[in-house]
């Protein structure tokens, strides 16, 4: 897609620090890293989000992420790696080309807000109703 930053990165029109590439997938370092080794894994074919990405590309991205997370462990020895993927402006997706964030964590960093929310028990009836509504909508 012409105006997409990540499509331009795949084509080499915008430089990037590539860590992995195969037929369907490209992976590179985030230029605003939350932590050392913050990596983005993307499909080569443009798709905006989880709604749009074809299953084969989705599988390829996640298969590649397993390889890359193994390399991150070997290279950087993090205490954990957060995998984060945002869909839609309402979820704070900024670049509208599907991407999986691999965010290495180490003990001395502040917690990621998205992984440290307060647990408070939900309304079981409401949860049950919502589950039934989603389940009924599955094609």
Which residues are part of the catalytic machinery?
Answer: 99
Q: Which residue is nearest to ligand 5GP (CB)?
A: 32
- C-alpha 55/C-alpha 97 separation (Å) is 15
| Positive or negative torsion for Cα 15, 17, 22, 24 | negative
Position 45 contacts ligand 5GP (CB under 6 A): no
Q: Beta strands 18-21 and 25-29: pairing type?
A: antiparallel
Position 95 contacts ligand 5GP (CB under 6 A): yes
**Only segment of 18-26, 29-37, 43-51, 128-136 that touches ligand 5GP (CB under 6 A):** 29-37
Residue 49 beta carbon to Zn ion: minimum distance, rounded to whole angstroms? 11
Position 82 contacts ligand 5GP (CB under 6 A): no
Locate 90 and state its tokens: 């309402």
Q: Which of 112, 99, 107 is nearest to 64 (CA)?
A: 99
Locate 24 and state its tokens: 């369907």
Q: Which residues bind ligand 5GP (CB under 6 A)?
A: 5, 14, 16, 28, 30-32, 86, 92-95
Q: Which residues bind Zn ion (CB under 5 A)?
A: 1, 4, 6-7, 46, 97
């Amino acid at each position: 897609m012409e105006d997409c930053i990540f499509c331009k990165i795949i084509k080499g029109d915008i430089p990037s620090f590539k860590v992995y590439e195969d037929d369907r997938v490209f992976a590179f370092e985030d230029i605003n890293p939350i932590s050392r080794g913050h990596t983005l894994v993307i499909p080569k074919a443009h798709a905006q989000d989880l709604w749009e990405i074809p299953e084969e590309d989705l599988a390829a991205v996640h298969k590649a992420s397993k390889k890359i997370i193994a390399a991150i462990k070997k290279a950087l020895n993090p205490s954990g790696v957060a995998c984060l993927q945002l869909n839609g402006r309402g979820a704070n997706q900024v670049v509208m080309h599907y991407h999986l964030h691999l965010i290495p964590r180490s003990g001395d960093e502040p917690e990621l807000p998205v992984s440290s929310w307060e647990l408070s028990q939900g309304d079981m009836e409401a949860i049950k109703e919502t589950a039934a509504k989603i389940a009924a909508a599955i094609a």
